[in-house]
Homo-oligomer: A and B are copies of this chain.
Amino acid sequence: MQADALSATFSALADPTRRAMLARLAEGEATVNELAEPFEMTLPAISKHLKVLEKAGLVSRGKHAQFRPCRLEAGPLKDIAGWVETYRRYWEASFDRLDNYLEEIQKEQPR
Residues of chain A having any CB pair with chain B under 8 Å: 3-4, 6-8, 10-11, 13-16, 19, 22, 26, 72-75, 77-78, 80-81, 83-85, 87-88, 90-91, 93-94
| Chain A contact residues: helix, strand, loop or mixed | helix
Please tell me which one of the listed residues B10, B74, B78 contacts residue A10 in the complex, with CB atoms under 8 A apart: B10
Q: A6-B19, A72-B90, A74-B93 are in contact. List 12 more A-B contacts (CB 8 A).
A: A7-B15, A8-B14, A19-B83, A73-B94, A74-B91, A77-B84, A77-B90, A80-B84, A81-B81, A81-B85, A81-B91, A84-B84
Contact (Cβ within 8 A) B11 A16: no
Closest to A4 in B: B16
Closest to A77 in B: B87
| 24 A-B residue pairings within 8 Å (CB atoms) | A3-B16, A3-B19, A6-B16, A6-B19, A7-B14, A7-B15, A8-B14, A10-B10, A10-B11, A10-B13, A14-B14, A19-B83, A22-B87, A26-B87, A73-B94, A74-B87, A74-B91, A77-B84, A78-B91, A80-B84, A81-B81, A81-B84, A81-B91, A84-B84
